[in-house]
Amino acid sequence: MTKRILILGGTSDALELANHLSTNERFRLIYSLAGRVEHPRVPNQSCEIRKGGFGGIDGLASYLTTHRIQAIIDATHPFAAQITRHAEVASQTTGIPLLIYARPPWTSLPQDRWHEVPNLQHAAALIPSLGRRVFLAIGRQEVSVFAYCTDAHFLIRSIEPPTGPLPPDANILLARGPFYLDDELTLLRDHAIDVIVTKNSGGPATYPKVEAAREMQIPVIMVQRPPATSARPVTTIPAVEEWLKS
Ligand code: NAP
């Protein structure tokens, strides 16, 4: 019998997972996107794609029952805390099992010059003490947190243009990972970057900027992940497959 699985996606890990699971004919996959990005990457044709919010916890719970979902895999970004919380509550109220699939966070090496902060507001407040030419690599949604940083130049990299107010002195660089160490070194040198702000997303695709910072001894303001939910994430595709067998 086929199992109907909802994958909450929007990350390269979710994409890889969906493409992998779609080779198993016992699974019927629905891949869900928030719908924020105009040209998102989507899994192969055997996955059904849906876009847009569910309408809060009740909307998600209703979607799960209406579409006869039998398992939920939350493979959203580790910083997408709200949808993860909604999935957890909707799973509890409907009784449909939930698995959280997330890459482990990066950990610093002794040579790194990391400044770990709990959120983007703390990151913005720390910038003046560390540098004046900032590489801001946090995605496009929350750039406005830095709008009041008037004493620094910003190089802002995101897949699509940032929304909301920007810092007054800013260049936008539109690019989608994966990124590579040599290119990141060139970028940091060409723009004379002296501090980097990033979320601790984990995973290899965006890690080269952290390696480049290490090599150039540039400080990194590393925004820590939001507090974990009660469910413990699994970090590998075989662990997801094992869970789906149960
Ligand atoms: P969020 O704050 O956790 O969620 C906000 C709302 O967006 C949710 O309540 C839900 O709306 C909707 N939503 C989020 N993910 C969804 C999904 N996969 N399918 C359907 N609806 C979804 O999320 P976010 O931080 O804005 O991130 C939005 C999406 O971008 C996520 O899918 C995430 O994987 C991806 N992403 C986020 C980041 C990041 O740094 N936050 C980075 C890379 C990719 P309703 O309440 O209406 O259901």
pLDDT by residue for the chain (246 residues), tens only, comes to 899 999 999 999 999 999 999 999 999 999 999 998 888 999 998 899 999 999 999 999 999 999 999 999 999 999 999 999 999 999 999 999 999 999 999 999 999 999 999 999 999 999 999 999 999 999 999 999 999 999 999 999 999 999 999 999 999 999 999 999 999 999 999 999 999 999 999 999 999 999 999 999 999 999 999 987 777 889 999 999 999 998
pLDDT of residue 70: 98
Backbone angles phi, psi at 192, to 5 degrees: 50, 45
Residue ranges covered by each domain of the chain = 3-104+227-245, 114-223
Classify 114-223 by CATH class: alpha beta
Atom of ligand 1 nearest to the CA of 14: 34
Residue 37: predicted pLDDT: 86
C-alpha dihedral sign at 200, 212, 164, 174: negative
Output the ligand 1 site: residues, CB below 6 A: 8-11, 32-34, 36, 53-56, 59-60, 76-77, 79-83, 86, 139, 141, 199
3-state secondary structure of 6: strand
Structure tokens at 31: 């891949």
CATH, domain range 3-104+227-245: 3.40.50.720
The span from the CA of 235 to the CA of 1, in Å, is: 27
Sign of the dihedral defined by the CA atoms of residues 186, 159, 202, 20, in that order: negative
Ligand 1: residue whose CA is nearest its atom 9: 83
Tell me whether the CATH fold assigned to 3-104+227-245 matches the one assigned to 114-223: yes
Residue with tokens 């662990």: 239
Q: Give the pLDDT confidence of 181-239 residue by residue, as tens digits.
A: 999 999 999 999 999 999 999 999 999 999 999 999 999 999 999 987 777 889 999 99
